[in-house]
Amino acid sequence: MTVQNKDVVIGFVGTGVMGKSMASHLIKAGYRVLVYNRTKAKAEELIAQGATWMDRVSDLAKAAQVIITMVGYPKDVEEIYLEADGIVHHAKPGAYLIDMTTSKPSLARTIYEEAKKRGLFALDAPVSGGDVGAREARLTIMVGGDEDAYAAVEPILRVMGTNVIRQGGPGAGQHTKMCNQIAIATNMIGVCEAIAYAKRAGLDPTRVLQSIEAGAAGSWSLSNLAPRMIAGNFAPGFYVKHFIKDMTIALEAAKEMGLMTPGLELSKSLYEELAAQGEEDSGTQALIKWFDKQFASSV
């Protein structure tokens, strides 16, 4: 099979904030796309674009040659792939399984091994770039798995992202995503502290941002999330609850390797406080609310 052939059938599981845009790009590229989501209403827009709805994950797995998953938590990944009604037990021999959820490296390796026993090719391919990257097909995609399997599906991945790199064997994509989340975790604290400082100094945060984002302080979070913080836009491009999940995975993996990550621990504790205040379904930029609250209480 060559995935450049637009006759290839792609199954897409998980049509939330990220998945909906990603699947939409595949439809627009001319692929036949089958979709499944626990809440069918979240797939209606894709169905209107030409996707075919499947009532069960097992039915989707039986009908697709490439199966992509973009769900919430490792427990969802494990259920969708490994339970009796799951993808590994129902996919056609020779099918390619691509989990783009941020999940546990150990689970990625387990899926790879179980898939291999059944003549399936499994890749872990988590992404970075948020809702904007997904919408604009500019995601960074970090891939783990066999080189031949990666080469076969690379054209499909490049429909959804621009920075697509195989990092190594099974689990390597998830480990790379943990590096990404560790870097973001402490950077988000810095972005919020900078905005809080600008406010306390009587500056216009928007004008401050124009200066510092172009210099050495520049980062994706500073350019893309700081403006949302300043505007009071806390709609989720990436949920607080999912970021806490990612940081938990990263902390567990780091401890398994004997690595100390104090910045990650601090960031996770702040986000957990934020979630406890009812912000778990807000975007990660809502962390500024924690700093604003400290600011208000000190005035």
Q: Give backbone dihedrals phi and psi of 219, rounded to 5 degrees, phi first.
A: -160, 165
* DSSP reduced 3-state for 10: strand
Contact call for residues 204 and 286 (beta carbons, < 8 A): no
* C-alpha distances out from residue 110 to 72, 106, 124, 270, Å: 18, 6, 11, 32
What residues have CB less than 8 Å from 91, skipping those under 6 apart?
61, 62, 64, 67, 97, 115, 118, 120
**Across the chain, where does the E strand assignment appear?**
9-13, 32-36, 52-53, 66-69, 96-99, 121-124, 127-128, 139-144, 161-168
What residues have CB less than 8 Å from 262, skipping those under 6 apart?
none
Contact call for residues 36 and 56 (beta carbons, < 8 A): yes
What is the rounded CA–CA span in Å between residue 100 and residue 257?
Answer: 24
What is the rounded CA–CA span in Å between residue 13 and residue 26?
Answer: 13
* Catalytic (active-site) positions: 177
* C-alpha distances out from residue 53 to 3, 91, 101, 105, Å: 21, 17, 21, 30
